[in-house]
Amino acid sequence: MSEASADIQHDYIIVGGGSSGAALASRLSENGSTRVLLLEAGRASHPWSRVPVSFGMLIDNPAANWRFFSEPEPGTANRSIPVPRGKLLGGSSSINGLVFVRGQPLDYDTWAQYGNRGWSWQDVLPVFRRMETFEGSGDETRGRDGPLRVSEVPDQNPLYDALFAAAVAAGYKRNADYNSPDQEGIVKTQATISRGRRMSTAHCYLRPAMRRPNLRIITEVPVERILLEDKRCVGVAYRHNGRVVEVRAGKEVILSAGAVKTPQILELSGIGRPEVLAAHGIAVRHELPAVGENLRDHINARIQWRIKVRGVSYNEMARGVGAVKQALKYLATGGGFLSLPSAPLLAFLRTRPELETPDVQMHLVPYAVKNPKRRQLHDFPAMTVACYQLRPESLGSIHIKSPDPAVDPAIRFNFLSDPIDQRAMVDGFRMMRRIVGAPPMEPFRGEEYSPGSAVESDEQILTWIRNNSETAYHPIGTCRMAPGPNAVVDDRLRVHGIAGLRIADASIMPTMPSGNTNAPCIMVGEKAADLIRAAA
Ligand SMILES: Cc1cc2nc3c(=O)[nH]c(=O)nc-3n(C[C@H](O)[C@H](O)[C@H](O)COP(=O)(O)OP(=O)(O)OC[C@H]3O[C@@H](n4cnc5c(N)ncnc54)[C@H](O)[C@@H]3O)c2cc1C
């Protein structure tokens, strides 16, 4: 798909067709008289994307991924950490690990407490309900007829039974539905998978909407900046076949380019911190110091164990003859290794009993990969448990490094700079060992392969995390939503001080939702459609 035209008028221009942008484009264009233009920098699709296990193939694939890297920082041993982001329709929902988590009521009540009316748990729950068709059991808080199909992992494995029993033996509870208001416990993962196929927003939202004459989607057109007339946004400029094309919006432009690219587009347009813009020779069109600030992400610590029992680790099953069998099984039934999300079991736990709600999340995985080439499995049976602190305090930033839109911005996570984060990560690390060390895991558990038992004191654990951990791929917050000058958008997602411009993506989140971020991003896209329709 491609097109270059300067004179088509649309009511709304959406920049970026990812988790939020695709949901927004689909909902806005439900009204046949609303003309919507969706501009996406990446391609329309990638052949691997529909197969769930493809997250391993697409994690550093330039055909579907921006492949950003963070700046080296002393807090993470001066490593340049990979920051994959989806670059195709569906955005990161087309390449992600498919784990579906709404978060905790506390998350959204916190957003409301910052002064964001309409974003409390009670406000967003109806949006979470209407966006999903949950194929599992669950109470009235779950949706049954939304566009996004969500199912519980059907895979069975004696290793899972042992992990459940081990978590209970270690003092943690099981939970039937962690996407109900009570998140706590060890659980089977709910995933954006149906009948063995990935449920991206491209598939669930855009595909059914594509035939609408009032929705135009143009792919492979990176937007470089927005067009401003004084303090009003009137359109965008994108690159097509080496030329810059300007296109105007009759009503509004909505940036949904994600937490990395949305602040870059604002800064390239002269909206942001004056000192950042001045350093790159960009004239200030509108001073907004919060642009690019307030970056949060989950730093993810992984422990790998060898497994003593044959036939339970996918490290064996996904190699050689086993791989052929898995491929045939997938083709015949839609099941097996190829149909799994990045983790079939999760645990949401409290590191301290006095906490009100869980503060760490674990991903329990029946295989282990060689880092950093994640697609390569170890050639021995193994498993992984990974852990991150749910609501990190450490704040980083994303700012331009150049006035050239093709130069990636500087991503500074500032991971583990806050002592609360350090404490939670060390405690969570010990909890992973406690669960896998519990008696029900005895028949399965081999040697702790990485980092190994020599890493034992708090200091050693923290140092190991600093030296080895990567992100869980959940950057948020770089265009924070709140009233007043220390934020970028208001609670109707309108950019402070600029008419005709909204933002709807992970960047608006004032704090981290407790879990993986795809579901909250889709909720933001849905909610943006409500707010725009209400204003029209
Ligand atoms: C490898 C990986 C694994 C993950 N695993 C999970 C998981 O298991 N569960 C979960 O809940 N979350 C997961 N996430 C996170 C989740 O997918 C993201 O938080 C979410 O998809 C972000 O949504 P978004 O709309 O903010 O941005 P995106 O979905 O990234 O969409 C942004 C879109 O804008 C486009 N774009 C960017 N710049 C421009 C431009 N200049 N012009 C035009 N278009 C542009 C991009 O190409 C992209 O399509 C994962 C993410 C990754 C990358």
Q: pLDDT tens digits for 100-149?
A: 999 999 999 999 999 999 999 999 999 999 999 999 998 999 999 999 99
User: Is 91's C-beta closer than 6 angstroms to any atom of ligand 1?
Assistant: yes
The answer to whether residue 474 is catalytic is: yes
Task: Dump the DSSP string for 362-419.
Answer: EEEES--B-SS-TTSBPSS-EEEEEEEESS----BEEE-S-S-TTSPPEEE--TT-SH
Identify the residue whose C-alpha is closest to ligand 1 atom 53.
85
For residue range 216-228, list pLDDT tens digits in order. Answer: 999 999 999 999 9
Of how many residues is the chain composed?
536
Asked if pLDDT for residue 30 goes beyond 50, the answer is: yes
Q: Single out the catalytic residue among 46, 363, 378, 474.
A: 474
Could you give the CA distance from residue 108 to residue 116 in angstroms, rounded to a whole number?
A: 9
Confidence grade of residue 372 (pLDDT, cut at 50, 70, 90): low
341-358 confidence digits (pLDDT tens): 999 999 999 999 999 999
Q: Read off the pLDDT band of 4 (50, 70, 90).
A: very low
Q: Which of 508, 5, 522 is nearest to 295 (CA)?
A: 508
Mean pLDDT along residues 364-379: 82
pLDDT of 200 strictly over 80: yes
Identify the band that residue 373 occupies on the pLDDT scale cut at 50, 70 and 90.
low
Q: Indicate whether 515 pLDDT > 80.
A: yes
Helix axes 19-28 and 518-535, enclosed angle (nearest 10): 30
| Mean pLDDT, rounded, of the chain | 96
Q: Which long-range contacts (CB under 8 A, 24 or more apart) does 368-375 make?
A: 368/304, 368/305, 368/313, 368/315, 368/449, 368/450, 369/56, 371/468, 371/470, 372/82, 372/470, 374/56, 374/59, 375/56, 375/57, 375/59
Q: Is the CB of 476 under 6 A from ligand 1?
A: no
Distance 521 CA to ligand 1 centre (A): 9
Q: How far apart are CA 141 and CA 361, in angstroms?
A: 22
Pocket test for ligand 1, best of 49, 70, 473 (most atoms within 8 A of CB): 473
Specify the ligand 1 atom closest to the Cα of 16.
34
Write the class of the CATH domain 154-188+299-389+418-468.
Answer: alpha beta
* Structure tokens belonging to residue 12: 């709304």
9 confidence band (pLDDT: 50, 70, 90): confident
Name the residue ranges covered by the structural domains of the chain.
154-188+299-389+418-468
Mean pLDDT calculated for residue range 33-39: 97
Pick the closest to residue 173 from 429, 344, 343, 348 (CA basis).
Answer: 348
Residue 206, helix vs strand vs coil? helix
Tell me the pairing of strands 243-255 and 501-503. parallel
Does the Cβ of 253 fall within 6 Å of ligand 1? Answer: no
Closest to 153 (Cα-Cα) out of 193, 186, 183: 193
Q: Answer yes or no: is pLDDT of 1 > 70.
A: no
